């Protein structure tokens, strides 16, 4: 039931996110607008990854879309953090190249996510089950998953 609701609501949310990005686009020269655009794009890609996971018919495709969704998960937090700083008047903190340091941990996470079968640091193992008509993936989490989760939560 939960997946049916998600599949019904997510396309509407994606359309609204695209409309919001379209409205922000003319102001993209400003840091705050770029941060908001980044956030809107990251959320859209995260939702698309989750939807495509559910629509996948094979385990390989389902794992791929879970990996794609997990790539965008920390980007949501980073772009929102930069947007919040700029909105609060602290643009000078993010106007330099220092915000790129925020991408260091997510870059390591991406590497670990796409190589997980070799080490089990992000996911120890993945399990597949059918939630109604949808094939979905659940994993038992490794230590890096929790490090990544704490990082996203702190931001």
pLDDT of residue 130: 82
CB-CB contact of 33 with 24 (8 Å): yes
* Residue for token pair 């931001």: 155
Does the pLDDT at position 98 exceed 60?
yes
Number of domains comprising the chain: 1
Percentage with pLDDT > 90 across the chain: 46
Closest CA to 31 of 127, 95, 108, 101: 95
Average pLDDT (90-105) is 80
At 124, the pLDDT band (50, 70, 90 cuts) reads: confident
pLDDT of residue 21: 96
Range of the domain at 116: 2-154
* Digit-coded pLDDT (tens) for 2-39: 788 888 999 999 999 999 999 999 999 998 999 999 99
């Amino acid at each position: 039931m939960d997946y049916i609701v998600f599949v019904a609501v997510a396309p509407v949310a994606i359309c609204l996110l695209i409309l919001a990005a379209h409205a922000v686009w003319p102001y993209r020269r400003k840091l705050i607008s770029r941060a908001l655009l980044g956030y809107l794009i990251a959320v859209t890609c995260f939702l698309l990854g989750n939807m495509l996971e559910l629509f996948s018919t094979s385990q390989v495709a389902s794992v791929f879309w879970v990996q794609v969704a997990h790539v965008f998960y920390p980007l949501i937090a980073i772009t929102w953090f930069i947007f919040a700083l700029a909105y609060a008047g602290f643009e000078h903190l993010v106007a330099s190249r220092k915000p790129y340091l925020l991408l260091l941990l997510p870059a390591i996470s991406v590497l670990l996510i796409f190589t997980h079968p070799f080490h089990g640091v992000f996911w120890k193992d993945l399990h597949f089950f059918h939630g109604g008509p949808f094939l979905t993936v659940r994993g038992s989490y490794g230590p890096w998953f929790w490090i990544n989760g704490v990082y996203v939560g702190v931001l």
